[in-house]
Structure 1
Amino acid sequence: MDLRQMEYLLAVAEERHFTRAAELAGISQSGLSSAIRGLEEELGTALFDRTTRRVELTEAGLALLPYARQMLAQAAGARDAVVKASREVTGSLRIGAEQCLGFVDVAALLERFHRRHPRVETHFTQAGSQDLITSTRAGDIDVAFVATTKHLGALPHQTLGQESLVLLASPDHPLALGAGRQEIAWRALEGEDFIDFAASWGIRELNEETLAAQGVHRRVRCTVNDVHTLLDLVTRGLGVAVVPRHVAAKPQAAGLRVLTLPETAGLSWTVSVVSAAHDRVEAPSAHLLELLADASASAEQRVLAG
C-alpha cells in the first residue's frame, strides 16, 4: 500500500464515481481504476461494489478508510513539519473565495498553510467573485479564488480548471419529463423561472451572457448566496438552475434531474486564483501560492504516472 493508492481510495469513496474521482485526484480514469485494482489484489479482497450507476465501499473498504485518512494526514503533517522547521514566515494573509469552487479545497489549503506557518495571522472572506476581484485590486485581499474570467485586468492570475454547465430541474418539472431525455435545447428554456446566484457570483454573469446570446428570456425567481439553498429551492420546484457540472454531483442534488446543455463556443465555468502584486518573495501570500503550486504539481505527476 502506498500514499497514492490511499488518496485514490478516498477520492472514490467520497465521489462514489470513478470518473469524478479521477478528475478530483488529477489522474486518468484508467490509471485510477488500475491503482484500485492493484490495491484490491494486494489485500486479496474487493474494496468497492461497482454497478452501472453507483460505487459503494464494501465492508473491507469501510474498514480500510480511516487508516487511509490517517496515512494521508500523517504524510502531509510530516511535510509541513519539515517546511515549518526550515522556514519561519510571519505577517498577515488575507484570503477570499467564492463558495464551492470544486477545483480547489480552500479550507484544506488554509489548514495546511496554518500548519506550515503558524505565526502568520490569516483572515478569510467568502464572497462573490466580482466583489473579491474588486477587493484584491483595492489591496484589501492578498489572494482570491474566483470563478470568472471577467474584470481581471492586469491582476496576476492563474487558471485552476474549467468545467461545462448543466441544467438542474426537479424530477417532476416539465423539462425533465421527456422520456430518456439527456440534453435540453436552449429554446426550451424560454420563459422559465430560474434560481440563480447574486450578481457578484461569477456563474450569474456567465448565465446572463450565455442565455442572452442564445436569445433566451428568463425570470430569476429566487436569488441566493449559497449552493445548498439553490439546490433546495430547485428540489422544491421553484425553478430550474444552470450550474457548473460538479454542483450536480453533490449529495444534496441526488434527487434532481441533470440535463446537458448544447455545446456553445466559449461556454465554460473557469476557476482562477488571483493575487495582488507583491514585491517581497517572502510575503505570506507568496508562500500560499507556492503551496498551491506544489499541490498542482503533485496532481500533474499523478496524471503522468497514471
Structure 2
Amino acid sequence: MELRQLEYFVAVAEEANFTRAAERVRISQSGVSAQIRELERELGATLIDRSTRTATLTDAGRVALEHARAALACAGAVRQAVGEVTGLIRGRLTVGMVTGCTITLFFDALAAFHRAHPGVEITLLEGNSVRLLDDVRSGAVDLALVGTADPTPAGLNTLTIISERLVALVPPEHPLAKQATVSIADIADHRLVCMPEGTGIRTVLDRACALRRVQPAIAVQASAADAIADLAARGLGVAILSESMSSHYKSRLRALRIIDVGDPALLALVWTATKSPALDRLVRHCHDTFTTRPVQVG
C-alpha cells in the first residue's frame, strides 16, 4: 500500500468524480483508476462504486476513508516535523481563485511565497465562488480568493480584500443614462448583463431583488467584467458590476449608483484553521501584500 494510492482514493471520495480527482492530483484519469484498483486488490474489497456517473463510496470505502485521511495526515506531520528541524518548508498547497480574477497583487503574493519557500508545490485552480468555499471547508482547497456577500463565511478565516457597492453601467444613449442614481425597480425594467450565480456580485444583487420582491430579467451572464461591459456597450442590457470594476469603462459606459443595495460585494481570501506551516506562511505573505499595497481590479 502506497501513500499516493491513499491520496488518489481520498481525492476520488471527496470529488465524487474520477475526472475531477485526476485534475486535483494532476495525473491522468486512467492513472488514478489504476492505482485505486491496485489498492482495492491489496485490500480485497471494492472501495468505489463505479456503476453510476457519480463515484460513491461502498461500505468498505467509507470505513477506509477515515483511516486513509489519518495516514496522509500522519505522513504530512512527519514532513512538517523534519522541515521545522531543517528550517525548510515542504509540501503541497492547492489554491483556488474565482474565475475571471484579475487581482495582480494575489499573483504577487504567490510569487513572493514561492521565492521564499521553493520546496512547496502550488496548484492554482479557478472556479465558482460557492464551490471554492465548499472546497476550502472540505479541505480540498487550502486557500481561495472568492467573491462573497458574507463578511465572515461560516467556519472560515477571512481576509477581506475589496468591499464595494454595486453600480449599473449603461451606454450614453440608454434611457437611464440621464440619471445619477437608480433603484432596483429602475434596473428591473431593463434586461441585465451580470455575473453568474455563485459569485459575490450576483449574490448581493439577487438578495437585494428578493428583499424588494423584484424579479430581474437576466439577458446574459458572464464571468469576466470585460465581457459584461462589452455586452452592455453593445446594447444587450444594463451591466451590474462593482465600483472599481466600472472605472475601467467610463469612456464607453456611465456608472449609476444603485441607491437601495446596501450590502457591499466582497472579494476575500478564505482558509480554515490549520497546523500547516506552508499555509501559515502563505496567509502571512498574502496579508502583508494586501495590507501594504493598494488593490487594483483589472
TM-score (norm 1): 0.62
Amino acid in the other structure paired with 1:292: C
The aligned residue for residue 80 of structure 1 is: none
> Quick one: which of 251, 255, 259 aligns to 2:256?
259
Contact 1:231 1:253 in 2 (8 A): no
The aligned residue for residue 10 of structure 1 is: none
Residue-by-residue CA offset, 1:43-98 (whole Å, 9 max, x unaligned): xxxxxxxxxxxxxxxxxxxxxxxxxxxxxxxxxxxxxxxxxxx9532111111122
Q: 2: CA distance between counterparts of 1:253 and 1:130?
A: 30
Residue-by-residue CA offset, 1:17-44 (whole Å, 9 max, x unaligned): xxxxxxxxxxxxxxxxxxxxxxxxxxxx
Deviation at 1:194, TM superposition (A): 0.6
> Quick one: which of 260, 270, 274 aligns to 1:274?
270
Moved more, 154-163 or 221-230: 154-163
Instruction: Map 1:174-213 to 2 at 5 A.
Output: 174-176=175-177, 178=178, 181-213=179-211
Amino acid in the other structure paired with 2:258: L
Amino acid in the other structure paired with 1:184: V
Contact 1:141 1:276 in 2 (8 A): no
The aligned residue for residue 146 of structure 1 is: 146
Instruction: Map 1:97-246 to 2 at 5 A.
Output: 97-99=97-99, 105-150=105-150, 152-176=153-177, 178=178, 181-246=179-244
Q: Which has the larger radius of gyration?
A: 2
Q: 2: CA distance between counterparts of 1:235 and 1:138?
A: 40
SS at match of 1:147: strand
Rate the CA distance shift 1:264–1:239 in 2: closer, same or farther, 3 A.
closer
RMSD, aligned CA: 2.4
Equivalenced residues, count = 208
Deviation at 1:239, TM superposition (A): 0.5
- Structure 1's unaligned 5+ residue stretches are 1-85, 301-306
Deviation at 1:298, TM superposition (A): 3.1
Rate the CA distance shift 1:271–1:278 in 2: closer, same or farther, 3 A.
same
Q: 2: CA distance between counterparts of 1:201 and 1:294?
A: 26
SS at match of 1:122: strand
Contact 2:184 2:261 in 1 (8 A): no
The aligned residue for residue 283 of structure 2 is: 289
Amino acid in the other structure paired with 2:274: H
Contact 1:162 1:271 in 2 (8 A): yes
Percent of pairs with identical residues: 24
Q: 2: CA distance between counterparts of 1:149 and 1:133?
A: 12
Contact 1:97 1:106 in 2 (8 A): no
TM-score (norm 2): 0.63
Contact 2:164 2:265 in 1 (8 A): yes
SS at match of 2:201: helix
